[in-house]
Amino acid sequence: MTPTRSLVESALLAGLAVILFLAAQFLPFVGAAFSLLAPAPLVILGLRHDARKASLGLAIATMLVAVFLGPLSSLFFFLGFGVLGVGLGFLAKRLSTGVEVMMYGILVSLTSKLLLMVIAARVTGINPFQLDSVEVQAMVDRIFSFYESAGMSRDSLTSVREQFAQAIAVLPVIFPTILTMAAALDCYLSYTVSGFVLKRVGGMHLPPLPPFSRWRFPKSVFGALVASILLSLLGSSSGGWNIALRIGTNVRMLVNFLFLFQGLSLLWYFLEKGAGAFRGVGRFFRTLVIIVVVLVPILSTAVVMAGIADMWLDLRTRFRRNGTQ
């Protein structure tokens, strides 16, 4: 590819990313779909061009967003879409497996979101990692005053108000977990949608991810679980939300998410290839089952326990050896 053609293609891909981002901001209902498609041109940009041209294209796209929507929106585009999109393309060109690309991509996504949070805190004065208790209480009072004015009984709102206030108070503590899961979900969706687009375009591809029925996490996750329990015990002995208790709580929540995903993967495997009446059920029914399991607490707890057992015992391999596949 000649330098001129490479430069023109970079500009066109950057312009397409801007158009999709603008559509996501202005079009109701279908805007979410465009927001999923917006990183795809940037992934192609990072995949087809070197770092210098990809960075130049991203800079042009960011300036265009600033012209149409202002500097804050351009910053959101750059850190929320641009860095991750170009980064995934850059990583896919240099790494051989989809898992490696995803792991490094999650780090890129998390770093960019942390920078976005820091800048947003500077601009707005609101630090999501440390909310002001007076402001939080005032917000809770305003919310429940509205419900009381709408005719709801004060007595019926008292317990709900206490639970809501407690949840809001814990939110800054678990915000690192929320941010990490958001970064992982963002990276996965960007990678999956971009891979689908590249298959339709032809000529390029992203390293494939293993099917969901084959997702497994290493046994070293149990080490993180033990460390989180020890940190939580150490932190709770001194009282208050100290640094040890905060780290232990967030690590334990992340480990529980890994156990949940392992259990859901196991369930998907048996619905797809296991034995019994539900063997080989369609994708729609499998997806419906997964949604129900996630939404029903007792079922999600059972799946977490199954994920722990599978991580330790590798149940899928054992069933395959018994000839149930």
Would 25 be classed as within a structural domain? yes
pLDDT tens digits, one per residue of 72-88: 889 989 998 899 999 99
**Beta carbons of 88 and 191 less than 8 angstroms apart:** yes
Domain-embedded: residue 137:
no
Domain co-membership, 310 together with 323: yes
Both 105 and 33 in one domain: the answer is yes
Instruction: Tell me, yes or no, whether 284 and 191 share the same domain.
Output: no
Q: With 0-12 CB in 10 A as exposed, 13-18 as middle and 19+ as buried, what is 69?
A: middle
Q: Which residue has the higher pLDDT, 151 or 25?
A: 25
Q: For residue range 11-56, what is the model confidence (pLDDT) as tens digits? A: 888 888 899 888 888 887 777 778 888 888 888 888 888 888 888 8
Number of domains in the chain: 2
Residues 191 and 303 in one domain: no
The average confidence (pLDDT) of the chain is 83
Per-residue pLDDT tens over the stretch 203-226: 678 889 899 888 889 888 999 999
Q: Is residue 291 part of a domain?
A: yes
> Is 185 in the same domain as 44?
yes
Statement to judge: residues 270 and 252 lie in one domain: yes
Q: pLDDT digit string (tens) for 246-289?
A: 899 999 999 999 999 999 999 998 888 765 555 656 788 888 99
Query: 199 with 187, same domain?
Result: yes
Could you tell me if 185 and 38 lie in one domain?
A: yes
Q: Rounded CA gap, 35 and 17, in Å?
A: 10
Residue 106 within any structural domain of the chain: yes
Q: For residue 280, what pLDDT is reported? A: 58
Q: What is the pTM of this model?
A: 0.82
Cβ atoms of 140 and 165 closer than 8 Å: yes
Same-domain pairing of 8 and 116? yes
Question: Which residues lie closer than 8 Å to 288 by C-beta, 6 or more apart?
Answer: none
Tell me the C-alpha distance between 267 and 232, whole Å.
31
Same structural domain for residues 196 and 215? Answer: no
Please state which of the ranges 61-65, 131-135, 176-180 shows the lowest mean pLDDT.
Answer: 131-135
C-alpha–C-alpha distance, residues 307 and 225, integer Å: 14
What residue numbers bound the domain in which 52 lies? Answer: 1-127+179-209
304 and 277 housed in the same domain:
yes
The pLDDT, as a whole number, for residue 276 is 53
Count of alpha carbons within 13 angstroms of residue 241, beta-carbon side: 12
**What angle (nearest 5°) sits at the alpha carbon of residue 253, between those of residues 251 and 254?**
65
43 and 190 together in one domain: yes
